[in-house]
Structure 1
Amino acid sequence: MEYENVTDEVYIPRFLGQGGAFQSELILVGLAGGRMFDTIVNFWIYNDNEEAFSAQYLFNCWDRVPLATINGAFNTSFLQQTNHAPNEIIGASGYESGWFKVYGATAFSSAEQIVDPAIYAVLVEIIASHGAADLPFESPAINEPRNGALFPTGPFGDGDTIPVNNDNQ
């Protein structure tokens, strides 16, 4: 099964500082390579005053991971140490918030490496016992078309029908 071209970057338009009742999770899916591939994704994390912080996370095939596990920049305790925009959340000035973008850095197996792999991400906001999720925003695929097979099972990824090493697919 082939999928259409996917976005170059996934934008999550908001998150609340993690800790206490806020325990949100990010679902990450590696769309290049398949189940035998580990994928490294890069993050640009912005606080509510547009200060930028970076992070990386490695997962195999797919993962559902707490934001606080990815990087401490998502935590309220960290965000309180940065410049704060108290009116960012109208009526809730005591809460820390931000937004982030995520994109594929590399995916690799024992036989192949894929640079700038296709990924997808969805944030599940969990506050106490309640949860909600929105579809993220996307940027256009500006580098090259990124499509492939869901989900290849071999170490060479989703390239041609005859596996080829170093085809970056």
Structure 2
Amino acid sequence: MLTSCHNAFAGNGQDGYVVVSAEDPSLAMGNAWSHSYLIGSEIVMSGLGVTYMVNAYSVTTDRPEHQPTTNGQPPFHLDFNGGDYKLLPDYLMSDFVGVANSQLALINFTGGANIENTLHFEVYNDNELPLSATLRFRCWFDCPLSSVSPLFTEANLDNFPNDPQELDLTCDGQGDVETGWFLIRSSGTWFPGGQSHSPDGAIIGSITAGHASVRGGHLLWESDTRQINAAFRLP
């Protein structure tokens, strides 16, 4: 879950993401074990009084209760390989609204913090017109959709053939806001020097949409197809 942290060591707050895992209390930190009952959510409250909630992404394991899910010596890893933990999705999907402040958050789970993940966006407007965009990021990404590509903006979507009644908020027979949906696939991960790391990277994410006074969010929808190329290094 991407979040902001406010503490005594960073008065202005720090941005990042949080991974919570169940661990054996009798062993040193990092010794994760099977406990498939953790759920959570992030509640966002703004100075304008707007409140919305985004669920945490939960991953279970098929291991028996309280059995180790890490192997070897520190630093330990949470491996989403279908054995230690369930596999992550191969690609992600979401709808979107072409208004300012729509925000996309993504986390890369292939290769570590310095590995760059290249993503391909298959985008469709409200008349199913196919469009495309690309994004390269390291570790995590949390920016407006318009930072990925201007094609996600209302002004740009107005230039394409569309369904004029797709989102009629005022019920007057005229569309009020441009909408669409997209699919995200990784086309590979890369070392800092530009060498290929893997042909496919694992990601999860969420989206928030709406004007500053009316916002909401949800996790990105995930494919039934899974992949084994995902892990998280514990501290």
Mapped partners of 1:74, 1:49: distance in 2: 14
Letter of the aligned partner of 1:100 in structure 2?
A: F
Letter of the aligned partner of 1:71 in structure 2?
A: S
Letter of the aligned partner of 2:199 in structure 1?
A: V
Q: Which of the pair has more CA radius of gyration?
A: 2
1:115 aligns with 2:199: yes
Partner of 2:20: none
1:63 aligns with 2:141: yes
Q: How many residues align?
A: 147
* Structure 1 residue runs without a partner (length 5+): 154-169
Mapped partners of 1:71, 1:116: distance in 2: 22
1:99 aligns with 2:177: no
How much has 1:103 moved relative to structure 2? 1.4
Q: CA RMSD in A?
A: 2.0
1:150 aligns with 2:232: yes
1:125 aligns with 2:202: no
Mapped partners of 2:123, 2:112: distance in 1: 27
Letter of the aligned partner of 1:97 in structure 2?
A: T
Which of 128, 135, 156 matches 1:78?
156
1:137 aligns with 2:221: yes
Partner of 2:87: 5
Mapped partners of 1:78, 1:148: distance in 2: 35
Partner of 1:160: none
Indicate conservation of the 8 Å contact 2:168/2:177, yes or no: no
Indicate conservation of the 8 Å contact 1:33/1:152, yes or no: no
How much has 1:63 moved relative to structure 2? 1.0
How much has 1:151 moved relative to structure 2? 2.9
Mapped partners of 2:117, 2:127: distance in 1: 30
1:17 aligns with 2:98: yes
* Structure 2 residue runs without a partner (length 5+): 1-77, 81-85
How much has 1:152 moved relative to structure 2? 7.5
Identity of aligned residues (%): 27
How much has 1:140 moved relative to structure 2? 1.9
Letter of the aligned partner of 1:15 in structure 2?
A: F
From the superposition, tell whether residues 91 and 132 of structure 1 become closer, same or farther in structure 2 (CA, over 3 Å).
Answer: closer
1:91-117 CA distances to partner (integer Å, 9 max, x unpaired)? 351211111111111111146511111
Which of 16, 30, 44 matches 2:108?
30
| Larger mean Cα displacement after TM superposition, 133-142 or 44-53 | 133-142
Give me the TM-score of the superposition, normalised by structure 2.
0.58
Secondary structure, counterpart of 1:27 in structure 2: strand
How much has 1:135 moved relative to structure 2? 2.2
How much has 1:69 moved relative to structure 2? 0.8
Letter of the aligned partner of 1:37 in structure 2?
A: I
How much has 1:130 moved relative to structure 2? 3.7
1:119-139 CA distances to partner (integer Å, 9 max, x unpaired)? 112111141234311122221
Letter of the aligned partner of 1:16 in structure 2?
A: V
